[in-house]
Amino acid sequence: MNNFIFYDTETTGVKELDFIQVIQFAAIQTNNNFSKVNSFNELCSPLPWTLVTPKALSVNKKREIFHADKTHYELIKEIHGVWTKWTEQNPAIFVSYNGMRFDEEVMRRQFYWNLFDPYFTNTRGNTRLDLFLKMYVIAHFYKQKFPIPEMNNQMSLKLEDLVSNLDFDTINAHDALADCEFLIHLIKFIAHRLPCFYEEILDTVSKDGFFKKLNSNEVHFHCYFIPRSKTTKAYPFTPLIAEYNLSKYLPIFDLSYDPDNFIDLSYTELEQLINSKKKSPFKRLAIHKTQPTICLDTLIQDGIAIENPDFLRDRATKIQSNESFIERVTDIFNNKEFTTSKKINIEEQIYSEGFPSPIEKDRFIQFHNTQSYEERVNIIKSFDDHRYKEFAHRICAQEHTEEVETSILIALKELTRSRFNDEGPWPNSLQNLEEGKSLLLEAKDEDEKELINLAINSIKNSQ
Instruction: Output the domain CATH number for residue 84.
Output: 3.30.420.10
- The stretch 122-147 carries a mean pLDDT of 95
Asked whether residue 279 falls in the same domain as residue 330, the answer is yes
Task: Give the CA dihedral 223, 224, 226, 227, nearest 10 degrees.
Answer: 130
Candidates 42, 75, 36; CA nearest to 398 is 75
Q: What is the CA radius of gyration of the chain?
A: 24
Asked whether residue 173 falls in the same domain as residue 218, the answer is no
Asked whether residue 309 falls in the same domain as residue 243, the answer is yes
- DSSP for 419-439, written as a single string: HHHS-SSSPPHHHHHHHHHHH
Determine the residue type at 398: Q
Q: Are strands 150-151 and 127-130 parallel, antiparallel or unpaired?
A: unpaired
Asked whether residue 244 falls in the same domain as residue 139, the answer is no
Q: Are 236 and 253 in contact (CB under 8 A)?
A: no
| pLDDT reading at 45 higher than 90 | yes
Residue 383 lies in a domain: no
Asked whether residue 182 falls in the same domain as residue 210, the answer is no
Mapping DSSP to helix (H, G, I), strand (E, B) and coil, where does residue 16 land?
coil
| pLDDT reading at 337 higher than 80 | no
Asked whether residue 117 falls in the same domain as residue 249, the answer is no
Asked whether residue 135 falls in the same domain as residue 210, the answer is no
Q: Average pLDDT of the chain?
A: 94
Q: Are 26 and 38 in contact (CB under 8 A)?
A: no
| pLDDT reading at 444 higher than 90 | no
Share of the chain above pLDDT 90, in %: 88
pLDDT in tens, 399-411: 999 999 999 999 9
The span from the CA of 453 to the CA of 447, in Å, is 10
**Beta carbons within 10 angstroms of residue 143's beta carbon:** 12
Residue 346 lies in a domain: no
Asked whether residue 34 falls in the same domain as residue 77, the answer is yes
Give the structural domain span for 133. 4-193
**Band (193; pLDDT cuts 50, 70, 90):** very high
Asked whether residue 256 falls in the same domain as residue 321, the answer is yes
Candidates 291, 193, 157; CA nearest to 235 is 291
The span from the CA of 184 to the CA of 129, in Å, is 13
pTM: 0.94
- The stretch 124-133 carries a mean pLDDT of 97
Asked whether residue 229 falls in the same domain as residue 322, the answer is yes
Domain with residue 266: its CATH number is 3.30.1520.20
Asked whether residue 105 falls in the same domain as residue 136, the answer is yes
Residue 176 lies in a domain: yes
Q: Nearest 5 degrees, angle CA 339-CA 344-CA 346?
A: 110
| pLDDT reading at 254 higher than 80 | yes
Asked whether residue 12 falls in the same domain as residue 133, the answer is yes
Mapping DSSP to helix (H, G, I), strand (E, B) and coil, where does residue 29 land?
strand
pLDDT in tens, 138-168: 999 999 899 999 988 899 999 999 999 988 8
Q: Are 253 and 259 in contact (CB under 8 A)?
A: yes
The span from the CA of 437 to the CA of 427, in Å, is 16
The span from the CA of 163 to the CA of 160, in Å, is 5
The span from the CA of 327 to the CA of 316, in Å, is 16
pLDDT in tens, 370-408: 999 999 999 999 999 999 999 999 999 999 999 999 999
The span from the CA of 459 to the CA of 50, in Å, is 9
Q: Are 206 and 200 in contact (CB under 8 A)?
A: no
The span from the CA of 96 to the CA of 103, in Å, is 7
The structural domain count of the chain equals: 2
